[in-house]
Amino acid sequence: MKHVFVLLVRLVLGSSFILSGITKILDLVPFIQTVARFNVLPAWAVIPFSVFLPPLELVFGISLLFGYLTRFSSLMIACLIMLMAVAIVPQLLGGSEIGDCGCFGGLMDSRVDINLLLRDMLLFALAFTIFCQKQYIYTFDSYLDKTI
Amino acid sequence: MKKPTNLTILLYLILAAFAFEVFVLARQNMLLKRQLYSGLAQQKGNDKEIKEGMILPSLSLKNFENKEFTFSYNRPGE
């Protein structure tokens, strides 16, 4: 039962990160503007960060969904979620009005508020749950172990 | 042939994602340019193809040499 739960979590987290990565790639310019509005990075780092983040989200989402390097992918996804949470906290404390968080590009608007932080914390807990498992079912890793 | 390590495969995947990103950006850029040029062609009121580098030809430096500065703007439909 636990394995099935982890599998479901993997599918949900992986597909949401794939969606997030693709929508950010398709709407890259608004995402760069959103990162700049957050005002947590130095000006020179805004564009490199905004360009590097979506492909990483896409790749780790795919690898988590298909179960390739599952533990490593879940750790990386947990790190990415923590990074986003760290960016959100100063905005909440400072009470700045950022508006859309840019999490899913132009697909849906989600405001930077306490609910977003709670959602990130939930996703972090899910990613960490995957990371803490010793065995996974229906993964590409286990297929490779069997064939090689 | 030497079997690629997990890290190598992951790097290939990240490179593929970057390539996808560059492709999407290039395509968006191309579509934007096409929109801009077709809009300009419409504004000029003729069907001549406007090539790259000929945006607002009346404002190019060549037109300023030994000529009076004239610039008129007609809104489409006027």
Q: What is the pLDDT of residues A16-37, one digit of tens each?
A: 999 999 999 998 888 888 888 8
Check: complex ipTM more than 0.85: no
Q: What is the pLDDT of residues B6-59, one digit of tens each?
A: 888 889 999 999 999 999 999 988 888 888 877 776 666 554 555 554 555 555
Contacts of B70 (CB under 8 A, 6+ apart): B58
pLDDT score of A7 more than 60: yes
- Closest Cα of chain B to A114: distance in Å? 31
How large is the average pLDDT for residues A28-51? 89
Contact A69 B10 (CB under 8 A): yes
Select the residue of B6, B9, B17 nearest A58 (Cβ to Cβ).
B17
- What DSSP assignment string belongs to A70-129? HHHHHHHHHHHHHHHHHHHHHHHHHT----B--TTTTS---BSSHHHHHHHHHHHHHHHH
- Residue of chain A minimizing CA distance to B21: A25
**Per-residue pLDDT, B66:** 54
Separation of first and last alpha carbons in chain A = 28
**Per-residue pLDDT, A121:** 92
pLDDT score of A53 more than 90: yes
The predicted model scores a pTM of 0.77
- Closest Cα of chain B to A63: distance in Å? 9
**Per-residue pLDDT, A148:** 60
- Residue of chain B minimizing CA distance to A63: B10
Select the residue of A59, A68, A69 nearest B14 (Cβ to Cβ).
A59
